[in-house]
Structure 1
Amino acid sequence: MWNDFRFIDLFAGIGGIRLGFESVGGKCVFSSEFDEDACKTYEANFGEHPSGDITKINAKEIPDFEILLGGFPCQAFSIIGKKEGFANETCGTLFFDIERILKEKMPPAFMLENVRNLTAHDKGNTFKVIKQHLEALGYHVHAKVLNALDYGVPQKRERIIIVGFLEDVDFVFPEPVPESERKTLSDILEENVDRKYYVRDAIRESRLARLKDKSYPKPYISHENMAGSITPHPYSSALRAGASANYILINDERRPTEREMLRIQGFPDSYKIVVPYSKIKKQTGNSVAVPVIKAVAREMLSALKKHELKKENGYANKS
């Protein structure tokens, strides 16, 4: 079964999670995404237009699958839920839609992705409720914060990955990849970049004046923190969907190109860009670091295959 498994791609964005699970032999049988611009990019790359609003999708109508995938938005659970007890705790949140689909379909496994802050959100209550609800469905839950920097892309991006199995599968999160296999900024930056990406002289001079280390070696990416100081790094800070245009700059001279933003997230160069700059910036900021998902997908598949084998051998020994 695990050589040819089916998955569904919820909160699909531009398909970063899908790429990770396709890389280990999975076939996507259903996708859902609310944002129409993201759907346009998704369709250009995967040949299908995701279904829309997850809250309006009937779980019974989703094709059968083995793994549920979703990078769901983090929302606080309401006080109303607490008053009405456990069953209603997640009502009105998008996690509730993941929960009801899991409940209806009971796939062998799932993988969810969220911001690192999920563990601290609402004093830890949000994550606690999520974990309890997943366990109440019968899943064995594993969670860990992984940093994209450790898996081969030049971006410091920490995200919590929540993995669950119906059976007690022996799962461990992937080890970081060796330094020698990690891409550097030099590997992903384009040459001969169009002038339109370069910032005005006044912006460049203002940034350089506030640069913490004036002799920092190029190439670097700097970002402006809340206090206004400019810190250079040999990698990008986490790409963000809603940040101002000059949030990260390469060598304090220019904005990253569309292709560079996709590369920072580990998307292949064959990935098609069909929307304007501001939209691809939002879409990459909302997406995932593909190599992290690939690494998790590999570990999940390996654990599931070993578990299957153990069961077969166990049953064979008993008979």
Structure 2
Amino acid sequence: MMFTFIDLFAGIGGLRRGFEAAGGRCVFTSEWNKFAQKTYTANFHDGRPPQGDITATETSDIPDHDVLVAGFPCQPFSIAGVSKKNSLGRLHGFACETQGTLFFDVARILKDKKPAAFLLENVKNLRSHDSGRTFDVILRTLRDELGYNVSYRVIDAGHFLPQHRERIVIVGFREPVPFSWNDLKLPEKGQRRLKDILHPEDGSEPAEEAYTSGAAGTVNPKYTLSDKLWAYLQTYAAKHQAAGNGFGFGLVGPDDVARTLSARYYKDGSEILISRGPGKNPRRLTPRECARLMGYPDDFRIPVSDTQAYKQFGNSVAVPVFEHVARMMLPSIETLLSKKASPERNIEMAEAL
């Protein structure tokens, strides 16, 4: 059974790829960053370019949908007492507690559109953000205010990719369903290594002009750190190691697993530096290698500068994780939609197509 979904805070479409792989059809996208919009539009050709600022979008302008997916940014919530709000004649509940945050827009869309299910993604530390207050408000809003059956799990992309990347995944269903994280079966960690995503530089891969060249497909020298930057990173690491801080660069080889790729990678690449052998300066990953490290296929178009590409992949979800979770959610989504089956739903699906 086909289902429809909307893609909020979409970035470059990682969540969309996951839910399309499970049979979903995207009917609405929101992403405010113009560079991410460019990459998204270059890779999804359905005539529905991303809308801009979701905070300026009325829910009446968003199509009905079965599933809401969102990788929303996390912000602190300012919680005021309900009794005080009542005395002032003001709103309370999620309309008060989440107002001014981007989660508020997720909540208002769930309230007005009432999709059968949702998936939200965020950094692992969302649970402890603002001393746990942020996560408490989110769960209370989703469960108590909006009436969803909610559960969550932290998943490491290292089960699918050669990268340690933990993210919290929150799922909810409008009615009780047999969905359980206890049924989550993940591949063993460490099966993928960096050699699986690095340019081989041996002629076995066609050159990609922006990143590699020549018959061997040699990585462009511009990705190799300059003497000055390499010296700075080594000095910086030694200084903090002496102080017991543990800060430093991440020097890795083909048989290693990388640290988390971050949006700051464009600055110096320090968290993932590829060794080029003794006596040689290491290099950054190319944007294509970053795409592979996040689970994007080689036909994924990268129409932006290296700086923007590094930011985009550093902010992206790990695609295979959400392909896995979307397929795990699918039986429960289908159960809820079968209850909803009606001539009206058939019209909705026809309009979505």
Q: Counterpart of 2:7 in 1: which secondary structure?
A: strand
Partner of 1:284: 313
Whole-Å separation in 2 of the counterparts to 1:138 and 1:109: 11
Residue identity opposite 2:258 in structure 1: S
Paired residues of 1:211 and 1:232 also in contact (CA < 8 A): no
1:168 corresponds to which residue? 176
Amino acid aligned to 2:260 = A
**Structure 2 CA distance for aligned equivalents of residues 310 and 70 of structure 1:** 25
Q: Indicate how the Cα distance of structure 1 residues 71 and 90 shifts in structure 2: closer, same or farther if over 3 A, else same.
A: same
Q: Is the 8 A contact 2:162 2:194 kept in 1?
A: yes
Q: How does 1:91-240 map to 2 (within 5 A)?
A: 91-135=99-143, 136-150=145-159, 152-173=160-181, 174-178=184-188, 182-190=191-199, 191=201, 192-204=218-230, 227-232=246-251, 234-240=256-262
Structure 1 residues not aligned, in runs of 5+: 213-224, 313-319
1:249 match: 273
Q: Which residue of 2 aligns with 1:17?
A: 15
Relative to structure 2, which stretch is displaced further, 244-253 or 102-111? 244-253
Q: Quote how far apart the aligned CAs of 1:255 are.
A: 0.4
Give CA-to-partner distance per residue, 1:128-176, whole Å, 9 cap, x none.
11011111211000111111002x1111111110000001111123321
Q: Answer yes or no: is the 8 Å Cα contact 1:170–1:307 preserved in 2.
A: no
| 2:74 matches 1:55 | no
Aligned with 1:33 (options 31, 53, 59): 31
2:97 matches 1:89: yes
The alpha carbon displacement at 1:49 in A equals 2.0
Which whole-Å CA distance do the structure 1 matches of 2:306 and 2:220 have between them? 13
The answer on whether the counterparts of 2:152 and 2:170 sit within 8 Å (CA) in structure 1 is yes
Letter aligned with residue 70 of structure 1? A
Structure 2 residue identity aligned to 1:51: Q
- Offset at 1:210? 8.8
Rounded Cα–Cα distance in structure 2 between residues aligned with 1:230 and 1:299: 37
Worse overlay, 137-146 or 167-176: 167-176
1:155 alignment partner, SS class: coil
Is the CA contact (8 Å cut-off) linking 1:172 and 1:299 kept in structure 2? no
| Residues 1:264 and 1:226: Cα distance change in structure 2 (over 3 Å) | farther
Name the CA distance, whole Å, in 2 between partners of 1:210 and 1:110.
Answer: 43
CA distance in structure 1 between the partners assigned to 2:327 and 2:251 by the alignment: 33
Q: Which amino acid aligns with 1:71?
A: G
State the AA in 2 paired with 1:263: R
- Cα pair 2:72 2:102 within 8 Å, conserved: yes
Alpha-carbon offset, residue 177 of structure 1: 1.2
Aligned to 1:78: 78
Structure 2 unaligned segments of length 5 or more: list them: 86-91, 202-217, 239-243, 276-280, 342-353
Deviates more, 1:258-267 or 1:73-82: 73-82
Q: Residue 227 of structure 1: CA displacement?
A: 4.2
CA distance in 1, matches of 2:101, 2:229: 41
Aligned pairs, number: 296
In 2: Cα distance, 1:310 partner to 1:98 partner: 24
Assess if the C-alpha contact under 8 Å between 2:237 and 2:247 holds in 1: no
Cα shift readout 1:284-306 (whole Å, capped 9, x = no counterpart): 11110001111110100033346
- Partner amino acid, structure 1, of 2:113: K
Cα distance per residue 1:238-266 (max 9 Å; x no partner): 11113432322111610000100011111
The answer to whether the aligner puts 1:299 opposite 2:328 as a matched pair is yes
Whole-Å Cα distance in 1 between the matches of residues 234 and 119 of structure 2?
42
User: Relative to structure 1, is the Cα distance of residues 79 and 107 closer, same or farther in structure 2, using a 3 angstrom cutoff?
Assistant: closer
Cα distance change on mapping 1:81 and 1:102 into 2, 3 Å? farther
Q: Residues 278 and 303 of structure 1: is their aligned pair in 2 closer, same or farther, counting only changes over 3 Å?
A: same
Amino acid at match of 2:196: D
Query: C-alpha offsets along residues 219-249 of structure 1, whole Å, 9 cap, x if unaligned?
Result: xxxxxx9644345451121111134323221
**By how many angstroms is 1:187 displaced?**
0.8
